[in-house]
Structures are given as structure tokens and as C-alpha cells.
Amino acid sequence: MEVRVNDECSACGICEDICPEVFELGDEKAEVKMNPVPEEYHDQVREAAEECPSEAIEIEE
């Protein structure tokens, strides 16, 4: 799984709350700390993408 955060991100921090191992809030948007994402975090990353209010998390399986 590869994941990226696009420019729609509003830096709300929800993704970091759900999966701090993969997402970290930067100055203007969330940053992805690891790509590819290890299998153990796939469910949390999918949940973060679903919960993201800006639909800014793009997943490539």
C-alpha cells in the first residue's frame, strides 16, 4: 500500500489521531511518515481515509 495526502488537506489532525505511526501533522497539511505502509497499519490508514473530512488521503493498494 502506498498513501499520499493531497492539497485538499485542511490539517485537521484526524488522520494523525487514528494512525500516528503513519500520519504526522505538518505546518500546512498532514505528512506521510512511511511509504509503502506496513501491512499492520493498512486498516488504520483505510479508516483515516474514510474519516478524513476533506477526502485528502489517496490510497494505492
Closer residue to ligand SF4 (CB): 37 or 57: 57
Tell me the DSSP string of 20-32. TTTEEE-SSSEEE
| Interface with ligand SF4 (CB under 6 A) | 5, 9-15, 29-30, 52-54, 56-57
User: What is the closest distance, in whole angstroms, from the C-beta atom of residue 5 to ligand SF4 in the complex?
Assistant: 5
Closer residue to ligand SF4 (CB): 38 or 51: 51
How far is 27 from 43, CA to CA, in rounded Å?
26
User: What is the closest distance, in whole angstroms, from the C-beta atom of residue 43 to ligand SF4 in the complex?
Assistant: 16
With a CB cutoff of 8 Å and minimum separation 6, the contacts of 29 are 5, 7, 9, 10, 11, 56
